[in-house]
Structure 1
Amino acid sequence: MTQTTTFIIGGSSGMGLASARILVERGEHVTLVGSSKDKLQAAQADLGEAVETLQADLRDTAHVSRLIQAIDATPRHITGLINAAGTFTPQPFLDHDAQDYDSYMDLNRATFFATQAVARNMVKHGSGAIVNIGSMWAKQAIKATPSSAYSMAKAGLHSLTQHLAMELAPHNIRVNAVSPAVVVTPIYGAFINPDEIEATLTDGFDSFHPIGRVGQAQDVAETVVHLLSDRATWVTGAIWDVDGGVMAGVA
């Protein structure tokens, strides 16, 4: 019997790691992909033997090529893929330079081709489910957090979700996305002291969400894992708002 795994790209922290924890608790094998060796080792030590790790910097084309080779070589059926890698540094449109822009688009390029490799595996084995972690910013501009390049990249990921859902459905592969609002994750460490992320987000954005609080990684991970599961077998091409009610309207 072929062994299975769920690949989580960007799985060493935040929503990816929270999703991995749920899957491992349910007895599933996961393969975590991340750029930080230390974070990957910590995640593996925390989650145990059901976890394999692959180190890859998605902005480095050589690393991406090695990741794709590893995906192609795996003897396991990749039943699930979570694309959770991301970066976020709010910056006015007029202040963006080429390096800022490329930091987002390089991630999308890597996501595209890594997902292609995973899809080949799923086609070979006859089934699979993919969940992309998009963003509310791809749907709604927020004056307090100018994010043109980030939002452009995430909007592209939303669009990719729908196109892949159409193309891969004949192969029994479902593709969905979640669209979170403000969630307490290390991604904000690019411009907030890591020790102050939760307090800063809570103070600044609790009231932004109609439900009254910012999200936690677990909030999003529960939905991600649901979309991967057999409980969502008639859901594909969906982009689910997991945002504390933000997209429902303006308070």
Structure 2
Amino acid sequence: MTHVPTPPRVALVTGATSGIGAETARRLHHDGFAVLLTGRSSGRGEALARELGPGAACFVPADLTKDGEPDRLLQYALDRFGTMDAVVNNAAVDHTGELLNVPAAEIRDTFEINTFAAIAVLQAAARTMRHSGGSIINVTSRLATIGVPTMGVYSASKGAIKALTAAAAVELAPYNIRVNAVAPGMTRTPLYEAWLRSHNDPEATARKVADGIPLGRPATPQDVAGAIAFLASPSADYITGITLAVDGGYTAQ
């Protein structure tokens, strides 16, 4: 009897060119997914696609704040791979600033990518999956749950996605589309490392951060990628509507 190989599952990872997005792409590739990578840095995105292999990954640059871009990405995935099984809604920008002094333009820019673009990606993913089912994983933040000075605009942009996750899970359940979120705490991304270097005593700052986390250390991008991979896997087939904290116990305090 001729063995017919099972086609690979297919995933889209937004914001895939560094940090959590890049590690998520690596983990999903390891788990047997073909991965469509997208982001704004063509150099990093194409390098990651070469690392994962041309048959299993490809990079498509995109500005998700532009009308129609999420639909274009999902259509590209269908044309290239024939299906879409998991979408990781990870693209985001950071923002800090004293709340009373944040310019309106900065608020709009933060929401454009962290909230409005994420909603557009979810819509495009669900339209693609509504006949076959699938998994959508939003990346929110511990700051969607707690208050931290100077992080109000960012927190609000991520809190909207936490709320959207629950609502979308209920609305899309009849299509067998699962919608979940992960909420990372402090994570050792390039942004985190740059933030440490901005302090007069980076080692002291790192110790202070670790001391505030019950597990005694920040997350690694691999920690967060592992949680995302679980929610994308068949092991999570009966899980929808949750926000999974990946914060070492920080928000449990």
Tell whether the structures are fold-level matches, with TM greater than 0.5: yes
- Corresponding residue for residue 110 of structure 1: 117
Query: What is the number of residues matched between the two proteins?
Result: 241
Q: Does 1:180 align with 2:184?
A: yes
Aligned residue for 1:215, secondary structure, equals coil
Residue 93 of structure 1: CA displacement?
Answer: 0.1
Q: Aligned pair in 2 of structure 1 residues 199, 51: CA closer, same or farther (>3 Å)?
A: farther
Aligned residue for 1:221, secondary structure, equals helix
Q: 5 Å matches for 1:128-139?
A: 128-139=134-145
- Partner residue of 1:42 out of 42, 47, 67: 47
- Corresponding residue for residue 30 of structure 2: 25
Q: Aligned pair in 2 of structure 1 residues 186, 201: CA closer, same or farther (>3 Å)?
A: farther
Output the CA distance in 2 between the equivalents of 1:214 and 1:191: 13
Output the CA distance in 1 between the equivalents of 2:245 and 2:136: 16
Contact 1:89 1:190 in 2 (8 A): no
- Corresponding residue for residue 54 of structure 1: 60
Output the CA distance in 1 between the equivalents of 2:214 and 2:148: 15
Output the CA distance in 1 between the equivalents of 2:226 and 2:83: 23
Structure 2 spans left out of the alignment, 5+ residues: 1-5
Residue 203 of structure 1: CA displacement?
Answer: 3.7
Residue 186 of structure 1: CA displacement?
Answer: 2.7
Q: Aligned pair in 2 of structure 1 residues 211, 242: CA closer, same or farther (>3 Å)?
A: same
Q: Aligned pair in 2 of structure 1 residues 192, 65: CA closer, same or farther (>3 Å)?
A: farther
- Please tell me the residue identity of whatever aligns with 1:66: E
Q: Aligned pair in 2 of structure 1 residues 216, 39: CA closer, same or farther (>3 Å)?
A: same
Output the CA distance in 1 between the equivalents of 2:194 and 2:215: 26
Q: 5 Å matches for 1:162-177?
A: 162-177=166-181
Aligned residue for 1:214, secondary structure, equals coil
Structure 1 spans left out of the alignment, 5+ residues: none
Aligned residue for 2:182, secondary structure, equals strand
1:198-228, Cα deviation, whole Å (9 max, x unpaired): 9686344111211100110001110110011
1:145-190, Cα deviation, whole Å (9 max, x unpaired): x211100010000011011100110111100001111001134477
- Please tell me the residue identity of whatever aligns with 1:26: D
Contact 1:9 1:32 in 2 (8 A): yes
1:47-72, Cα deviation, whole Å (9 max, x unpaired): 2221111101234x2xx523422313
Q: 5 Å matches for 1:123-162?
A: 123-124=130-131, 126-143=132-149, 146-162=150-166
Output the CA distance in 2 between the equivalents of 1:157 and 1:179: 10
Report the TM-score when normalising by structure 1. 0.88
**Bigger Rg over Cα:** 2
Superposition RMSD in Å: 2.2
Aligned residue for 1:164, secondary structure, equals helix
Contact 1:184 1:201 in 2 (8 A): no
Residue 240 of structure 1: CA displacement?
Answer: 1.0
Contact 1:161 1:237 in 2 (8 A): yes
Structure 1 stretch 76-85 or stretch 89-98: which is displaced more? 89-98
- Partner residue of 1:81 out of 69, 84, 87: 87
- Corresponding residue for residue 224 of structure 1: 228
- Corresponding residue for residue 3 of structure 2: none
Q: Does 1:11 align with 2:16?
A: yes
- Partner residue of 1:243 out of 234, 240, 247: 247
Residue 113 of structure 1: CA displacement?
Answer: 1.3
Contact 2:143 2:155 in 1 (8 A): yes
Report the TM-score when normalising by structure 2. 0.88
Residue 142 of structure 1: CA displacement?
Answer: 2.2
- Corresponding residue for residue 74 of structure 2: 71
Contact 2:8 2:32 in 1 (8 A): no
Structure 1 stretch 66-75 or stretch 99-108: which is displaced more? 66-75
